Amino acid sequence: MNSIEKIINTLQYRKETIAVAESITGGKLAAALTSAPGSSKVFLGGIVAYSIESKVQELGIPKRLINKFGVYSEEIALEMANGVRKKFNSDWSIASTGVAGPGPAEETPAGSIWLVIIGPQATQNIRLSLQGSREEIRVGAVTSAVATLERILEQ
């Protein structure tokens, strides 16, 4: 059984649900989580909030926070995770934001990523600094999110 199947099976067993808010991963995390049989019982949905406007409109993030902390920040990743959890009324949420590259954005180096996982009893903030191509960085973010969620669910 692979990591995704373990996550889906654990969430089914616990009767818990999950939703995702993605920026840097661009839907890859939702695709990964829905690749396992039975995912429709626990995966409620996802939002690819790639633009600032979509973060504000779809996830309810105040623009003043984006202006204060920057779109590629821990604070905005946390707001994204809270926003999607509220929107879908899920038990769990995962959010991803960062810079895939090839160059920096807003003085944030390529490969700088924030992931936030929120569950019923805990919040996990993950800072990644990945190297590689744009695609390798995006896949690395998904791999890290999945591995972290699996580890949290095993506790």
Domain ranges of the chain: 3-154
Tell me which fold the domain 3-154 belongs to: Maf protein (3.90.950)
- CA 67, CA 143: separation in Å to the nearest integer? 29
User: Which 8-state DSSP code applies to residue 82?
Assistant: H
- CA 34, CA 40: separation in Å to the nearest integer? 7
User: Which 8-state DSSP code applies to residue 142?
Assistant: H
CB-CB contact of 115 with 48 (8 Å): no
Averaged pLDDT for residues 38-67: 98
- Biggest CA pair distance of the chain: 44
Burial of 46 (0-12, 13-18, 19+ CB in 10 A): buried
- The reported pLDDT for the residue numbered 1 is 78
Residue 106 has pLDDT above 90, yes or no: no
- CA 98, CA 115: separation in Å to the nearest integer? 9
pTM (2 d.p.) = 0.96
CB-CB contact of 98 with 112 (8 Å): yes
- The reported pLDDT for the residue numbered 8 is 99
